[in-house]
């Protein structure tokens, strides 16, 4: 069994008058530490599938396993998110933003500082701990968002278009940083993007969603010997 296992996932949204089928028989195995991408047009079901993986709601049919545990709204795994916006709290310092999730799950504050410093070092921003978000560029803030996500040691990272608000140079830099950092921490990640160049540059495998209703097709795989 892989680290993330999707077995025969089907999903339909129901309203009083009709059912809309969004996902049809999605099967996927992702190994621990692997980086894969999902690409596909808007409305093809990417967010629906990420939400099912996160256990936000159950799929109509099928099973999700993360690290051998079956995921459901009653048994969610620790998931890290990176989204298009950084959602840093403007009135908190960078260090406070990085440790915000840690404060919720454990109270030993000494270790929080150590974790924050190590992560800020890892993302190449060792000196910004006492700064406020408005003092950093968009690319720097997304790096802080990555650090905040890693601070809670999630099992899987779901990256939903995290580069789309950045200029091209910042985007390329952040892509490299994300790949290197996730490798260093041996994290499993799924990137959702519209950009095939970004997907191929970053991932070991790329899956294309077809719409009406969504099914997954593997379109690209780096041979293992090149990874």
Binding site for ligand ADP (CB under 6 A): 13, 20, 22, 40, 42-48, 172, 175, 195, 197-198, 201
CB nearer to ligand ADP: pick between 69 and 221: 221
Instruction: Report in angstroms how near the CB of residue 14 gets to ligand ADP at its nearest.
Output: 8
Question: Considering beta carbons, is residue 69 or 176 the nearer one to ligand ADP?
Answer: 176
Secondary structure E strands in the chain: 4-14, 19-30, 35-39, 61-66, 69-70, 79-82, 156-160, 188-193, 205-210, 215-221
| CB nearer to ligand ADP: pick between 18 and 224 | 18
* H helix count then E strand count, the chain: 7, 10
Nearer to ligand ADP, 70 or 195 (CB): 195
User: In this structure, are residues 112 and 56 in contact, taking their beta carbons and an 8 Å threshold?
Assistant: no
Closest distance between ligand ADP and the C-beta of residue 20, in Å?
6
Q: Looking at beta carbons, which residue is closest to ligand ADP?
A: 197
| Closer by beta carbon to ligand ADP, 13 or else 89 | 13
d(CA 90, CA 100): 13
Query: What string of DSSP letters covers 76-105?
Result: ---EEEE-SS----TTS-HHHHHTHHHHHH
Tokens 């993330």, residue located: 4
Please report how close the Cβ of residue 54 comes to ligand ADP at its closest, in angstroms.
13
Q: Tokens 């809309």 — which residue?
A: 20
- Shortest Å distance, C-beta 212 to ligand ADP: 9
**To the nearest whole angstrom, how small is the minimum distance from the Cβ of residue 85 to ligand ADP?**
16
What count of other Cβ atoms lies within 10 Å of the Cβ of residue 210?
Answer: 14
Q: What is the DSSP letter of 71?
A: P
Q: Which is nearer to ligand ADP, 61 or 195 (CB)?
A: 195
To the nearest whole angstrom, how small is the minimum distance from the Cβ of residue 44 to ligand ADP?
Answer: 4
């Amino acid at each position: 069994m892989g680290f993330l296992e999707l077995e025969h996932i089907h999903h339909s949204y129901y309203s009083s008058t009709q059912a809309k089928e969004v996902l049809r028989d999605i099967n996927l195995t992702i190994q621990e530490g692997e980086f894969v991408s999902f690409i596909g047009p808007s409305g093809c079901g990417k967010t629906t599938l990420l939400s099912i993986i996160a256990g936000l709601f159950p799929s109509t049919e099928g099973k999700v396993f993360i690290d051998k545990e079956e995921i459901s709204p009653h048994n969610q795994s620790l998931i890290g998110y990176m989204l298009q916006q950084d959602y840093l709290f403007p009135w908190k310092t960078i260090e406070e933003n990085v440790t915000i999730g840690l404060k919720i799950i454990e109270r030993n504050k000494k270790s929080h500082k150590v974790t924050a410093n190590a992560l800020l070092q890892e993302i190449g921003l060792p000196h910004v701990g006492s700064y406020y978000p408005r003092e950093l560029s968009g690319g720097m803030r997304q790096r802080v968002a990555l650090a905040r996500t890693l601070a809670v040691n999630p099992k899987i990272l779901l990256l939903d278009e995290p580069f789309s608000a950045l200029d091209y140079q910042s985007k390329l830099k952040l892509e490299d940083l994300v790949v290197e950092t996730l490798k260093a921490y041996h994290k499993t990640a799924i990137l959702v993007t519209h950009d095939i160049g970004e997907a191929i540059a970053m991932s070991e495998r790329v899956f294309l969603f077809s719409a009406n209703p969504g099914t997954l097709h593997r379109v690209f795989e780096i041979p293992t010997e090149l990874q």
